[in-house]
Structure 1
Amino acid sequence: MKRITPWALAGAATLSLGLAALAGPAVAQKSETAIFAGGCFWCVESDFDHVAGVLDTTSGYIGGKAQNPTYYDHEGFREAVRITYDPSKVSYDKLLEVYWHSVDPTDAGGQFCDRGHAYTTAIYATSAAQMKEAKASEAAVKKDLGQVATEIAMAPTFWPAEGYHQDYYKKNPVKYRFYRTGCGRNDRVKSVWGDKAYMGIKDEIG
């Protein structure tokens, strides 16, 4: 066996550092955040994971007054998804378009088979610019549908949901598809939006 001397290791380390210096510092990827409530957060997360330019999605709770809400104790909160995206690849305006066309914004009582405040729709702006764009998009949706029940507000604290809710559609594909189909989500969205249903989402929905 050939023995590796300390001098050889030092030389390799120097070479490695030299190559790293030539490569230059790592460039941090710029990202921005959007938050949408659209009924069951499993489904919203799945939908936005199929949008080019979305880097990460996190299911959670937003809008209530308590601290550290849980799935079994989130009165006053909505289920929502925090979306981290690359603005060089997808704009906030495009995310708004995806959002509106993946929910039923006319329903004030919930979404699909899920009823109650926790499942109502809302757009939570994280900046004044987002608020302006959200309001403009709402006006366009009203022209299409005649009415909109979706709240638009500045984002309060977002609380990530329990780990088993994250990427639920990936972890439990059979149960997830059974739920989504049984709840009538896709059928209702297509009924509301027709050919515009799920605009901007690539691949199969569900």
Structure 2
Amino acid sequence: MSIRTSLARPAALIAALAAGLALQTTETNAAPIETALVAGGCFWCVEADFEKVNGVQEVVSGFAGGTVANPTYKQVTGGGTGHYEVAEIRYDPDVVSYAQLMQLFFRSVDPTDAGGQFCDRGESYRTAIFADGPEERQIAEQAKAAAQAELGQQIVTPVLEDAPFYAADSYHQDYYKSEDLILTRFGPRSKASAYKLYRNACGRDDRVRALWGNDAPFVGSSS
């Protein structure tokens, strides 16, 4: 992965990538699959967003950044583990670059909020990027600086050292598109239906749209 000395203009980049959001690649490529590890609040939402990006093979929901090995969802959301809810984005670098993923990431969250994301509050819902080595760190810091300049507000999302990734249990994987039935306060619903209700009620898309306007790449595409 080469270090980009300058970032593409965000609006132009996002417009180009948005054209391929629904065109998930199924071709076998020679380049090995790489990973990007980010925390963007509810991992269901990050998974739903980034699995629509052309070149992303899979997104796995999980945890990273804390002190407890193999934590459970209940442990992490209960607090005290130091873990973030994270998404491991597995992507083909011949189709989409780490720099492009970082630009999309900042514009898919509220990076000005240090206390969580949207209706989800607490340490496990904070935003962060876990950089695997100096090249990823430099790219992530460049993307952060560009996003801050565009937004005109302080971005509090930290770029952290890489950390062990612990996948969440199967219940939380592909939640946004699962037809498995669960019991909600509205009665039995599929996970996919419950996810849409949650995302809308939490105000995620409204806040991202208010911050980023036309540069919000996923608003309207995943809810």
Length-normalised TM-score, structure 2: 0.77
Which aligned pairs between 1:1-206 and structure 2 lie closer than 5 A? Answer: 29-74=31-76, 75-145=81-151, 146-171=153-178, 172-198=191-217, 201=218, 204-206=221-223
SS of structure 2 residue aligned to 1:153: strand
SS of structure 2 residue aligned to 1:36: strand
1:71 alignment partner AA: Y
* Maintained 8 Å contact 1:51/1:202: no
Q: Which has the larger radius of gyration?
A: 1
1:184 alignment partner AA: G
1:205, CA displacement in angstroms? 2.2
| 4+ aligned runs moved over 4 Å, structure 1 | 26-29
Identify, as 1 or 2, the structure richer in helix. Answer: 1
1:183, CA displacement in angstroms? 0.3
1:203, CA displacement in angstroms? 7.8
1:27, CA displacement in angstroms? 7.2
SS of structure 1 residue aligned to 2:73: coil
Gaps of 5+ in 1: 1-25
1:204, CA displacement in angstroms? 1.7
- Deviation by residue 1:153-195 (Cα, 9 ceiling, x = unmatched): 1211010001110000011110000000000000000011111
Amino-acid identity (%): 46
Gaps of 5+ in 2: 1-27, 179-190
* Maintained 8 Å contact 2:130/2:160: yes
* Maintained 8 Å contact 2:31/2:94: no
**Distance change >3 Å, CA 202–CA 32, structure 1 → 2:** farther
* Maintained 8 Å contact 2:205/2:220: no
* Maintained 8 Å contact 1:57/1:83: yes
Residues 137-146 or 180-189, more deviating: 137-146
Residues 134-143 or 32-41, more deviating: 134-143
What is the number of equivalent residue pairs in this alignment? 179
SS of structure 1 residue aligned to 2:62: strand
- Deviation by residue 1:19-73 (Cα, 9 ceiling, x = unmatched): xxxxxxx975521110110000000000000100001110000100011101011
RMSD of aligned residue pairs (Cα, Å) = 1.6
Q: Distance in 1 between the 2:30 and 2:60 partners?
A: 21
